[in-house]
Chain A
Amino acid sequence: MPSEGWSRRDFLKGVSASAALTKAALGTQDAHAQEKPDPETAAVVEHLPAAGAPLAFTLNGEAKNLTVEPRRTLLDLLRQDLGLTGPKEVCDRGACGACTVIRDGKPIVACMVLAHDCAGAKLETIEGIGTKEMPHPLQRAFVECDALQCGFCTPGMVTALKCLLDHEPNPSLDQIKKAVSGNVCRCGTYPRIFEAAQRAAKVSSR
């Protein structure tokens, strides 16, 4: 069978081989056993608890103490285990920004981050930014400017811009564009998104 290109597993193996991450973040588990183990990572695999390792972080202001499989991505942890379906899985390769969450004040794509790389971090998702009853000015502006159509990219867009406004309360148009340049909207709402970000900045700075 021809190669199917890069799988996430290949990616993780590559990462592990480069030893860029902590040992706890490496590896695979039992289900991979039918494949010949990579000699470089085999030793690590043996030491990993298959069912998961302890992981603690703050999620939308709430302390979380979990047991998480080492291979779990942050996005799968949020969506599948913790039931936070605001961040969306679209490309699963860090190319679209739909799964954007904020880690220690910086936007990250949760599909490309291992959950264990968030140990001790402060995480913020769309669910923590505002609610229907108490929306963030950005969320209100998104609605007023119609900066959304199907809405599937919207959580990622709002999250990326929230992060921008936290650091830069009066962003220029270029800064706004740059902040969402990693976020894809297929319906084509970009001009409305720029408008919404500017409107929210104005409201917040009042």
Chain B
Amino acid sequence: MSDLSIIAHDYALNAEFARKFNEAILVLKRRYLLGRVGTGGTEATVEKARAELRSLLESMILALEDEGKPWSADQAQVPADVVDRLRKRLKGEMDENIAELRQTVDKLAGGTALGESAFNALDSVCEAADATASAAFRRLRRI
């Protein structure tokens, strides 16, 4: 009813997305950039992270390409605020970034290792998600 309820709602959504996305990236960066799995992790953990990230990325690409195309329920995985923030950040480089994300999806689907360029594109999504969650939290706490 108050602004805080809707901001808390918004924060919960954004924080959940940021958490999930970052968790998958951490597992995959460690596996492909450092060449190991974390303590307690296994190759199954890596496979799970690949599947999770692929699903989130497919939704993200759909959302970024939204203009003029019918909205699909798959896009609902990605909070609107994150998409807006990413659009603003990537302004002039949107096409290249979408192409990179699409290639990453293909690699994830094909079981291929991810390289630096893929992680650069993934980091930009991760940063947008993190900044959106932090901004929502600040609005929530009035700080």
Query: Do the two chains bind?
Result: no
